Amino acid sequence: MSSSLGRVINFPARRGTELATDAMSRATSGINATATRLTAEHMGTVDDWGRDPRLVQVITTLSHFRWSVAVGGEEHLKRRKGALIVVNARRFALAPIFSALAISEAVDRPVRFVGRPDTAPIGSLSRRIGGLLDHPDEVAGALSAGELVVMGAEHDPRLREAGIVDHAHVGAAMLASVPVFPAATSSNPMGRDARVEIGPATRPGRKRRGPLAELELADRVRADIQLLLDEMGELRTGTPLDWLPITAIGGS
Amino acid sequence: MSMGGRRVFVSGVGGELGTLIASLLEDEPWVGELSGIDADPPRRRLHRTAFHRLHPDEHDQIVETITKFNPHVLVHVGVWEPDARAAPHAAALLTDQAATSIIGAAAECPALENVIVRSGIEIYGRARGSLTRPSESAPIRPTSEWGHTVAGIEHTAARVGERVGVSVGAVRLAPVLGPHVPSPLGRLLRMPAVPFSVLADPPFAVIEDRDAARAIVAAARERLSEPVNVVASGAITALQAARRGRRVPIPLVGPEWRVARTISHLFGAPIPDHVSEVFHRGRLADNSRMQELLGIIPETTTTDVVDRLYDWPTVIRQPARIQVA
């Protein structure tokens, strides 16, 4: 009995050690994966859109100290074709950025995100890590060139609710004849764990001849993101904060 | 319709790009007679091209020469980039004179079918919020003197084309670099110390002179009737270029640029506003329609063009063995 009690008492300490070891190994494996993958890209230059692989490598490595992102559903994305991935975004959560970095690691190709400012130095830094201007023509150009682009839906003040999806960007994807994928993101302002779950491509409903098609597709993408968010379930921090009567702290 | 035996007239044939275009056109099977004018003689020997040395302000002679030749295709590359071979004001004046008299004269030719003009991606401008890689359908909002100049050429050509019913194609070139091409950007990058904007250091793309010439020849062959961006793939920043060329990068923030411009000018590499814009706002363009419209893609990437820029030997001045003056 005493021995079992001892095990119970010792468990949190062992658990803590395991967690620390696990977190370290996950962070290290992420860093190793980044270092291995990006050596194939040209260093010392930028690509056609101004993305700097060396800087992306550094930022991705540093991002592992902030986020440990689990990516799911990346098998939906084609290896070489362009696609627009729409994620739910919370204010200040940088969801499009961490999603782009994480998906880039998962699919082993550059992923860009929409929403860089056009003012130095933030705009310049964002461009170096794959940022695009929040302009439908800019998005259409990247998608036509076969790039993977992540954009955020509008912020919804309600937790775990997908905001409005900009139909102009969805229209850009339709113009470029690339699929639009919904993706649910979840992150924690106090922890490293984050998740990006990419769903299957959203199919347009009725065949429309006019701009109604992009409006309807944008609505469907929003509904699909909401579905993915609901499937994700409640987020648990593993701390007493979970006991508080607020749902999904930091989620969505 | 048979393309054989077409008469092609090249304006600006004396420049490096014009000479290169003429030499490539000489090898084209569809080209019959070939003629060209410029204020300076061609930079290399041309076998089939009849050269006329005329200054852009000699309107009567230009009109007479062109109408007598009665070309099917006019290739207008007689443009002066600011601080390349002429000071900005003179360059704008010469370019305007040449565009008006040459394109105007070509409009009087009954055989004229197609006009190809040399333009530049500076035409899109780099105002705040402008697209990173504008395609040909992006709005024309030039923000530099050179951008306004090429917009003016396109406008003149389009107006003339509309009036006389001929197709007009515009080849929008990225900054052209080559071993003998007078380029303010190339000169600046080859300086022992290269300034760069430490806050922005934006990417830019260039095109090698040979690829630019191939594109213009292809535009004439394909009878291009719309604008096309001609840009080498890839991009580079000023800092990266300086590092590749083992130059000393000078980080600048803002007010020092004025001093840097003056010093650079004194050392023989003036920085006109469109080059300054490259260093502050970058210069990229979407070249995805090149293959579709011209049937070619650039052979040299931006990085390779910049590497070659640093490999090209400098001018070695050898004094005359016998001083006669």
Region of B223 please: left (phi>0), alpha (psi -120 to 50) or beta. Answer: left
A47·B235 Cβ contact <8 A: yes
pTM of the model: 0.84
For B243, which residue in chain A has the nearest alpha carbon? A44
What is the nearest CA distance from B18 to chain A, expressed in angstroms? Answer: 28
Chain A, 52 to 81: residues with Cβ < 8 Å from chain B are none
Q: Report whether pLDDT(A252) > 60.
A: no
Q: What single letter denotes the amino acid at residue A234?
A: E
Which tens digit of pLDDT belongs to each residue from B53-72?
999 888 899 999 999 999 99
> pLDDT over 70 for what percent of chain A?
75
Residue A17 banded pLDDT, cuts 50, 70, 90: low
pLDDT band at A249 (very low <50, low <70, confident <90, very high): very low
> Among A44, A137, A145, whose Cβ lies nearest the Cβ of B131?
A137
Find the residue in B nearest to A119 (Cα): B128
Q: Is B131 touching A (CB cutoff 8 A)?
A: yes
Closest CA to B82 of B274, B216, B231: B274
Q: Is A235 left (phi over 0), alpha (psi -120 to 50) or beta?
A: beta
The class that CATH gives domain B6-182+205-233+284-299 is alpha beta
Helices (H), chain B: 16-26, 59-69, 88-98, 104-107, 145-164, 184-189, 209-221, 238-244, 256-266, 273-281, 290-294, 302-311
Q: What pLDDT sits at residue A159?
A: 73
Average pLDDT over residues A56-75: 91
Q: Does B156 touch chain A (CB under 8 A)?
A: no
Residues 115-154 of A with CB under 8 A from B: 118-121, 124, 127, 132-133, 135, 137-138, 141, 144-145
User: What does the angle CA A122 – CA A124 – CA A130 come to, to the nearest 5 degrees?
Assistant: 100
10 Å Cβ neighbour count for A170?
A: 28
CA distance B318 to A118: 49
User: 């302002």: which residue's tokens?
Assistant: A189
Indicate the average pLDDT of chain B: 92
- 3-class secondary structure, B58: coil
* pLDDT top residue among B284 and B5: B284
CB contact at 8 A, A199 and A76? yes
- Say whether B235 and A141 touch across the interface (CB within 8 A): no
Query: Chain B interface, mutation test: which of A41, A48, A144, most B Cβ atoms within 10 Å?
Result: A48
Domains of chain A in sequence order: 67-243 (3.40.1130.10)
Answer whether B222's CB lies under 8 Å from B192's CB.
no
Q: Does residue B229 belong to the interface with chain A, where contact is any CB pair within 8 Å?
A: no
C-beta neighbour count of A1 within 10 angstroms: 5
pLDDT at residue A242, as a whole number: 65
| Residue B129 Cα, gap to closest chain A Cα (Å) | 6
Residue spans of the domains in chain B: they are: 6-182+205-233+284-299
What pLDDT does A36 receive?
43
Closest by Cβ to A124, choosing from B135, B200, B302:
B200
Identify which of A196, A194, A203 has the alpha carbon closest to the alpha carbon of residue A174: A203
* A-B contacts at Cβ under 8 angstroms: 72
- Interchain CB contact of B8 with A (< 8 Å): no
Q: How far is B133 from chain A (nearest CA, A)?
A: 7
Q: What is the pLDDT of residues A170-216, one digit of tens each?
A: 999 999 999 999 999 988 877 888 899 999 999 887 777 778 888 99
Taking the C-alpha atoms of residue A177 and residue A187, their distance in angstroms, rounded to an integer, is: 31
Q: How is residue A82 written in tokens?
A: 């362009």
Terminal C-alpha separation, chain A: 44
Nearest to A144 among B205, B284, B288 (CB): B288
Write down the pLDDT at residue B314.
73
**Among candidate residues B179, B177, B188, B175, the one with its CA nearest the CA of residue B267:** B188
pLDDT digit string (tens) for A154-182?
988 777 788 899 999 999 999 999 999 99
**Beta carbons within 8 Å of B121's beta carbon, 6+ residues apart:** B134, B172, B173, B174, B229, B231, B283, B284, B285
What is the Cα–Cα distance from B181 to B212, expressed in whole angstroms? 12
Cβ(B168)–Cβ(B161) below 8 Å = yes
Contacts of B279 in chain A (CB under 8 A): none
Q: Which residue of B has its CA nearest to A50?
A: B203
% chain B with pLDDT above 70: 98
Q: Give me the pLDDT at residue A25, please.
A: 52
Which B-chain residues 249-288 have CB contacts (< 8 A) with chain A? Answer: 282, 284, 286, 288
Question: Please, what sign has the CA dihedral across residues B61, B62, B63, B68?
Answer: positive
pLDDT of res. B253: 87
In terms of Cα–Cα distance, which of A68, A115, A116, A231 is closest to A162?
A231
pLDDT of residue B312: 85
